C-alpha cells in the first residue's frame, strides 16, 4: 500500500475533494473505523490533512487521524518522502542521526498541521514535508547555529596509511576518563567532558552521554529500559555521544592529552 500512497504525491484539488467527500462523518465511530481499515489509495495524506484541519484538536477523531498520518512504521507510505529527504539532508558534520531528524520533523509536522503553517498541506503534502524538515533541522542545530556542535574531526591517515575516523574509533569500545591519561590531567578531563556533554543539543544523546561517561555506567539494556526505547537506539545515541566528546578532545588546545586509551 505504501507504493500507492507515494506514486502521485501531488493530488489535484478536485481529486482531494472527491476522496474527502467519501469519508464517513468525521466525528462518527465509522470514521475512526475507516481510518483503521481503508487502504492508502482511499486515504492519501492530503485527505487526512484536510480532515485533521477540520476536526477539533485533541478530539479522538483528530488524534486517530494524526496517528495514521504520522505512524512511524510508515505502513501506508505517507512518510516515505520524509525519510528520503532526511537521508539527503544529513551531512557528516551533523551530530544527530537521520532517525533523529525524522523524529524531529514529525514533531514539527504535528505542531504545524492544525495552524497557519498547515494551510495548503492538503494539496502540497511533499512541499509541506520539506518545509517542516528544514524547521526540524534548524531546531536541532539552532536557528543561528548557536546550538550546533563543533564540526566533526575529519579522517586522517594513521602510521599504516589507513584512514581513521574518530567517530568510528569512539564507537569501538567503552569510552573512559582513564586510558593513558596521567593523574595531573584527570580532574581537568573529567570537568572538560562534563562541559562538552552539556553542549550537546539533542536531549536523548545528552542524557545517554551523562550515563555512559560515569564510572559506574549502566548497561545498554538498563538504559533502554529506563528510556523506553530499544537497545539499537541507545547504542546509536551512545556512539554519537562518544564521537562528539572524542572530537572535542582532539580539537581542544587547552592541554596535550594522550587519547590512545580512548579507542
Contact of 205 with 95, CB cutoff 8 Å: yes
Percent of the chain with pLDDT over 90: 32
127 and 208 assigned to the same domain: no
Cell (9 digits) for 8: 502521485
Query: Domain tally for the chain?
Result: 2
Picking from 151-160, 218-227, 229-238, which range would have the lowest pLDDT averaged per residue?
Answer: 151-160
Gap between the Cα atoms of 119 and 22, Å rounded: 22
Q: Which domain holds residue 86?
A: 2-141
Picking from 11-25, 47-61, 128-142, 210-224, which range would have the lowest pLDDT averaged per residue?
Answer: 210-224
Contact of 174 with 166, CB cutoff 8 Å: no
Query: Bridge partners of 156?
Result: 164
66 and 123 assigned to the same domain: yes
Domain boundary among 141, 165, 198: 141
Q: Is residue 66 part of a domain?
A: yes
Query: What 3-state class would DSSP assign to 164?
Result: strand
Q: Mean pLDDT over all residues of the chain? A: 78
Judging by DSSP bridges, how do beta strands 156-157 and 163-164 pair with one another?
antiparallel
109 and 216 assigned to the same domain: no
109 and 237 assigned to the same domain: no
Q: Is residue 151 part of a domain?
A: no
171 and 92 assigned to the same domain: no
Contact of 238 with 174, CB cutoff 8 Å: no
Query: Bridge partners of 163?
Result: 157
Q: Is residue 245 part of a domain?
A: yes
26 and 136 assigned to the same domain: yes
Q: Is residue 229 part of a domain?
A: yes
For residue 212, the model assigns a pLDDT of 84
Gap between the Cα atoms of 241 and 205, Å rounded: 6
Percent of the chain with pLDDT over 70: 76
Cell (9 digits) for 186: 584527570
20 and 93 assigned to the same domain: yes
Domain boundary among 110, 141, 172: 141
Q: Is residue 146 part of a domain?
A: no
Gap between the Cα atoms of 52 and 79, Å rounded: 17
pTM score: 0.56
240 and 118 assigned to the same domain: no
Confidence of residue 215 (pLDDT cuts 50, 70, 90): confident
7 and 131 assigned to the same domain: yes
- Helices 125-141, 98-112: axis angle to 10 degrees equals 120
Q: Is residue 103 part of a domain?
A: yes
Q: Is residue 188 part of a domain?
A: yes
The whole-angstrom distance between residue 89's C-alpha and the CA centroid of its chain comes to 12
Amino acid at each position: 500500500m505504501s507504493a500507492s500512497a507515494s506514486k502521485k504525491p501531488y493530488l489535484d484539488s478536485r481529486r482531494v475533494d472527491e476522496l474527502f467527500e467519501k469519508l464517513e462523518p468525521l466525528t462518527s465511530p465509522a470514521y475512526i473505523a475507516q481510518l483503521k481499515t481503508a487502504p492508502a489509495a482511499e486515504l492519501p495524506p492530503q485527505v487526512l490533512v484536510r480532515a485533521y484541519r477540520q476536526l477539533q484538536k485533541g478530539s479522538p477523531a483528530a488524534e486517530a487521524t494524526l496517528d495514521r498520518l504520522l505512524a512511524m512504521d510508515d505502513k501506508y507510505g505517507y512518510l516515505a518522502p520524509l525519510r528520503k529527504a532526511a537521508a539527503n539532508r544529513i551531512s557528516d558534520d551533523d551530530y544527530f542521526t537521520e532517525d533523529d531528524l525524522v523524529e524531529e520533523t514529525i514533531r514539527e509536522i504535528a505542531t504545524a498541521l492544525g495552524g497557519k503553517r498547515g494551510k495548503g498541506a492538503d494539496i502540497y503534502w511533499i512541499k509541506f514535508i520539506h518545509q517542516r524538515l528544514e524547521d526540524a533541522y534548524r531546531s536541532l542545530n539552532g536557528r543561528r547555529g548557536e546550538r550546533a556542535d563543533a564540526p566533526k574531526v575529519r579522517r586522517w591517515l594513521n602510521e599504516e596509511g589507513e584512514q581513521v575516523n574518530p567517530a568510528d574509533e569512539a564507537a569501538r569500545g567503552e569510552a573512559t576518563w582513564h586510558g593513558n591519561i596521567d593523574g595531573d590531567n584527570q580532574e581537568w578531563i573529567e570537568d572538560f567532558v562534563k562541559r562538552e556533554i552539556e553542549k550537546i543539543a539533542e536531549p536523548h544523546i545528552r542524557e545517554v552521554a551523562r550515563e555512559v561517561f560515569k564510572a559506574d555506567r549502566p548497561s545498554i539494556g538498563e538504559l533502554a529500559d529506563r528510556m523506553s526505547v530499544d537497545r539499537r537506539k541507545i547504542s546509536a545515541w551512545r556512539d554519537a555521544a562518544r564521537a562528539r566528546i572524542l572530537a572535542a578532545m582532539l580539537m581542544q588546545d587547552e592541554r596535550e592529552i594522550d587519547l590512545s586509551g580512548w579507542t
